[in-house]
């Protein structure tokens, strides 16, 4: 008996789907995963300072902030070399050059191992040198500060030594894995630190637990990268001197704005401790922590642009590059403006609910939010310039603004004896020139996109769509003037709904609408299936 076999129909197009080596197709997904992971960091930023303040006091919280400011200086020992990894991995993968990937990765790996050891030595030296310079300012808190700086510094050395693996993940456009590991890392560390504070642990114990858990979880990337990047080899013999020098030249361009950040953030923190004491730093760093959360949300988006830009440059997609400048800066503005507006108008109630009446201040959060606004808006632009290796001059602009700003803050505190708000105003004024004028002018000239279109579509249009939200925030701010919790639970959510309606009606692209609808359809599908 003969039977005919029924064959499955053969699709007309049997060509295998090409892998997206630019990361464009997954950018929305990567950003969403990054934002979800960032919620763990936001929770940590809200919980830990309040617990330290409640259990150990405001002065001790200031010591914790001071120690982190010191540790940030140690990060500059490695010269910003980590920033080059994902760019060169993405660039070589885009053209199928796995040998180039291995050369770049191992060249950086060798150097970072050396600097990891150096950072550990510097951290150990700081333990003994700190009393020589800060004994009078820190007083009885000196011993705690010494141990905290030691443990945090050792944790940084481990992070630097293993940083190459995170750069490989992001160079392969697997930001979802990078953010997922970071979120898991912070969650485990947060739980451990909460346990320490709950059982009456001291600040040095808190830092020791942080070091141990960070080291444990940070090592999880090591085995994962070999599955994500086939053909990858970690072998110091593959390092090349010429590659190290080339990548370092790229990194030094990134180092200039990083030094600017160091001056405007950590050096300013040290000035506050020197002139006003650790308690003043604790008061300043709470609204600054809110700004840092905004900055991290924007960076989760902006960082995905660097390897994409590098890949497009390798493919010589000039027209797509010009469109990417306008589109990415506009998207960044839609992220920045709502959060900055909420902090400017309702920053005082947020601080009061979070940290208590002692920290409530309407003016300082508004000054910090407006001061950081130019920097936040230009994060996507700066990430693109970094991907194109055109970030040298913008880094110089920011560095000059930082030098002028920190000098003005020093004069404000030292000669005029102003408070924190006055010093912050002096610090941030130069950034409005460097970030709002100099950097966009340079980028438009360098990459031949329309500066007028950048200002209209990238900045002005998102700002106009903010009008309903700003009006709503002001109304709720006055209606619930005596009830900060209602402003947070009712006023801010309703105002955000006003913004989302404006965005959906007048700004959302067909692609964004399609993606959002698909997520809602997927959630309904799983809900119906479960029922």
Helix 58-74 and helix 268-276: axis angle, to 10°? 140
| 8 Å CB contact between 158 and 113 | no
Task: HSE, CB side, 13 Å, CA atoms: give it for residue 194.
Answer: 12
Token pair, residue 422, equals 């006055």
Q: What one-character-per-residue DSSP string does 369-387 give?
A: HHHHHHHHHTHHHHHHHHH
183 lies in some domain: yes
* Angle of CA points 441, 383, 406, to nearest 5°: 70
Q: For the CA atoms of the chain, what is the radius of gyration? A: 24
Token pair for 230: 């086939």
484 within a domain of the structure (yes/no): no
- pLDDT value of residue 340: 97
- Percentages of the chain per state (helix, strand, coil), in multiples of 5: 85, 0, 15
Is 142 contained in some domain?
yes
Q: How far apart are CA 496 and CA 365, in angstroms?
A: 19
Through-space distance between the first and last CA atoms of the chain, rounded to whole angstroms: 47
Q: pLDDT 10s digit of each residue in the chain, 531 long?
A: 444 443 444 443 444 445 555 556 666 666 777 777 778 888 888 899 999 999 999 889 999 998 988 888 887 766 567 767 877 888 888 888 899 889 988 998 898 888 899 999 999 999 999 988 887 778 888 999 999 999 999 999 988 888 888 888 888 878 788 878 888 888 888 899 999 999 999 999 999 998 998 787 777 777 788 888 888 998 988 988 888 888 777 777 777 777 888 888 889 999 999 999 888 999 999 999 999 999 988 988 888 888 788 777 777 677 888 888 999 999 999 999 999 999 999 999 999 999 999 898 999 999 999 999 999 999 999 999 988 888 889 989 999 999 999 999 999 999 999 999 999 999 999 999 999 899 999 999 998 888 999 999 999 999 999 999 999 999 999 999 999 999 999 999 999 999 999 999 998 888 778 877 776 665 554 455 455
How many independent structural domains does the chain possess? Answer: 1
**How distant, in Å, are the alpha carbons of 274, 278, 283, 412 from that of 417?**
12, 17, 17, 6
In terms of Cβ atoms closer than 10 Å to its own Cβ (0-12, 13-18, 19+), residue 165 is buried
Which letter does DSSP use for residue 234 in this model? -
Take residue 371 and report the two structure tokens written for it: 């001061």
Say if CB 213 and CB 155 are below 8 A apart.
no
pLDDT of residue 417: 93
Residue 525 domain-assigned (yes or no): no
Distance of alpha carbon 295 from alpha carbon 379, whole angstroms: 9
What pLDDT is attached to residue 463? Answer: 96
Helix residue ranges, H only, 19-97: 27-56, 58-74, 85-94
199-235 burial: b if 16+ Cβ within 10 Å, else e: eebbbbbbbbbbbebbbebbeebeebbeebbeebeee
Cβ of 25: how many Cβ atoms within 10 Å?
11
Q: Which domain holds residue 45?
A: 27-464
Spatial separation of the C-alpha atoms in residues 413 and 420, rounded to whole Å:
8
Distance in angstroms (rounded) separating the CA atoms of residues 420 and 364: 8
**Cβ atoms < 10 Å from Cβ of 162:** 19
pTM for the full predicted model: 0.74
The answer to whether residue 399 sits within a structural domain is yes
95: CB partners within 8 A, 6+ apart: 314
Would residue 476 count as lying in a domain? no
**Three-class SS state of 90:** helix
DSSP letter assigned to residue 7: P
């Amino acid at each position: 008996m003969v039977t005919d076999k029924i064959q499955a129909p053969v699709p007309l197009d049997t060509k295998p789907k090409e892998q997206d080596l630019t990361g464009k197709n997954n950018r929305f997904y990567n950003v969403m995963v990054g934002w979800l992971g960032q919620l763990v960091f936001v929770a940590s930023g809200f919980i830990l300072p309040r617990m330290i303040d409640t259990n150990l006091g405001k002065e001790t919280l200031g010591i914790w902030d001071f120690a982190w400011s010191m540790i940030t200086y140690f990060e500059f020992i490695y010269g910003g070399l980590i920033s080059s990894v994902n760019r060169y991995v993405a660039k070589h993968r885009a053209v199928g050059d796995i040998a180039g990937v291995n050369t770049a990765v191992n060249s950086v790996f060798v150097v970072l191992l050396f600097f990891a050891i150096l950072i550990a030595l510097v951290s150990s030296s700081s333990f003994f040198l700190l009393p020589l310079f800060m004994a009078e300012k820190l007083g009885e808190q000196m011993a705690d500060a010494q141990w905290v700086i030691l443990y945090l510094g050792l944790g940084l050395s481990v992070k630097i030594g293993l940083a190459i693996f995170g750069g490989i993940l992001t160079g392969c456009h697997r930001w979802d894995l990078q953010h997922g590991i970071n979120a898991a890392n912070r969650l485990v560390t947060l739980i451990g630190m909460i346990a320490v504070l709950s059982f009456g642990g001291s600040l040095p114990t808190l830092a020791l637990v942080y070091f141990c858990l960070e080291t444990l979880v940070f090592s999880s990337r090591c085995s994962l990268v070999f599955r994500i990047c086939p053909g990858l080899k970690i072998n110091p013999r593959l390092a090349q001197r010429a590659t190290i020098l080339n990548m370092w030249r790229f990194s030094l361009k990134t180092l200039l704005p990083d030094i600017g950040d160091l001056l405007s953030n950590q050096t300013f923190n040290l000035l506050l401790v020197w002139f006003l004491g650790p308690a003043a730093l604790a008061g300043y760093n709470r609204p600054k922590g809110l700004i840092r959360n905004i900055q991290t949300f924007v960076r989760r988006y902006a960082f995905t642009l660097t390897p994409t830009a590098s890949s497009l440059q390798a493919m010589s997609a000039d027209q797509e590059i010009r469109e990417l400048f306008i589109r990415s800066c506009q998207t960044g503005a839609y992220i920045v403006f709502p959060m900055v507006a909420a902090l400017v108008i309702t920053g005082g109630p947020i601080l009061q609910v979070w940290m208590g009446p002692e920290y409530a201040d309407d003016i300082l959060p508004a000054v910090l939010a407006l001061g950081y606004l130019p920097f936040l808006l230009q994060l996507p632009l700066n990430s693109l310039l970094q991907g194109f290796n055109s970030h040298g001059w913008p880094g110089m602009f920011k560095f000059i603004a930082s030098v002028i700003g920190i000098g003005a803050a020093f004069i404000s505190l030292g000669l005029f004896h102003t408070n924190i708000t006055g010093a912050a105003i002096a610090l941030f004024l130069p950034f409005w020139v460097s970030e709002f004028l100099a950097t966009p002018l340079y980028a438009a000239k360098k990459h031949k996109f329309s500066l007028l279109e950048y200002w209209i579509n990238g900045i002005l249009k998102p700002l106009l769509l903010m009008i309903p939200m700003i009006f709503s925030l002001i109304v709720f701010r006055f209606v619930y003037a005596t009830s900060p919790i209602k402003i947070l639970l009712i006023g801010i959510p309703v105002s955000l709904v006003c913004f989302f309606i404006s965005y959906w009606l007048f700004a959302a692209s067909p692609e964004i609408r399609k993606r959002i609808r698909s997520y809602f359809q997927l959630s309904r599908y799983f809900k119906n299936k479960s029922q």
